[in-house]
Amino acid sequence: MTAMAMLQERLDELKRNIESGAPPYNMSHEALEKMHRATAELKASGIENRALKVGDRAPEFRLFNQDHVEVASADLLRQGPLAVSFFRGHW
Amino acid sequence: MELEALQQVESEIRGLGARLVVITPEIERYTRALHRKLNLTFDILTDLHLKVAEQFGLVFTLPDYLRDLYKSFGSTLDRFNDEPEYRLPVPARYIIDSGGIIRSADVNADYTIRPEPSETVSRLGALKGGPTSSGGLAAN
């Protein structure tokens, strides 16, 4: 493996730090409880099963990139397979 | 953190003849800043009002109590995403083959869990290498 730890290991460490309630996050017990509740409710909503799955046809898309250039999935797929990661944002 | 980790494997993905894009509801002003800050070589695409995420079945609305909590931290989705209804995509990573069919799907309602970029690379490699050994690529 590379010098960089696995992504999930680093995410788990961040989670431990946040959930410890210690600085710099100083997360209250109440806030953590709300976050856990929201995640549990979202899991229970069945969204993971409603999302598109292996074998489904992927929707085509045309979106603007960070430099306001339009990117079409069809153009990318003409060159080969495509990995698409949905990211909620850095806020 | 996920974007930096994806950047680490971006050249490997290109080496396989594949491509990577990230889709986010964030408006371009913020994706541009993030893209420069992290020196990314893949595109971040703005999916305004989650039109594409909706087609993938990934959109949910933040419950009121969480919306208020995030607001108290100073995180406001109306500013970053132009999204007054506080809808978000569930984190997900898909691999789509050149015929437009989904060959790998990692969707997790728990936003603290993300698929490993190295795993995405090996699945892309497997896709490239062999035609269908059906089921072999299935995630979840």
Task: Answer yes or no: do B109 and A48 touch at CB < 8 A.
Answer: yes
Q: Does A82 touch chain B (CB under 8 A)?
A: yes
- The ipTM of this complex is 0.86
pTM check: above 0.90: no
Residues of chain A in contact with residue B94, where contact means CB-CB under 8 angstroms, are 52, 58, 83-85
DSSP helix/strand/coil, A15: helix
* Nearest-neighbour CA in chain A from B40: distance (Å): 10
pLDDT at residue B76 greater than cutoff 70:
no
Chain B nearest-CA distance from A22, in A, is 16
What is the predicted pLDDT for the residue at B1?
83
Query: Whose CA is closest to B123, among B100, B94, B98?
Result: B94
The answer to whether the CB of B13 falls within 8 A of the CB of B20 is yes
Where is pLDDT greater, at B136 or A45?
A45
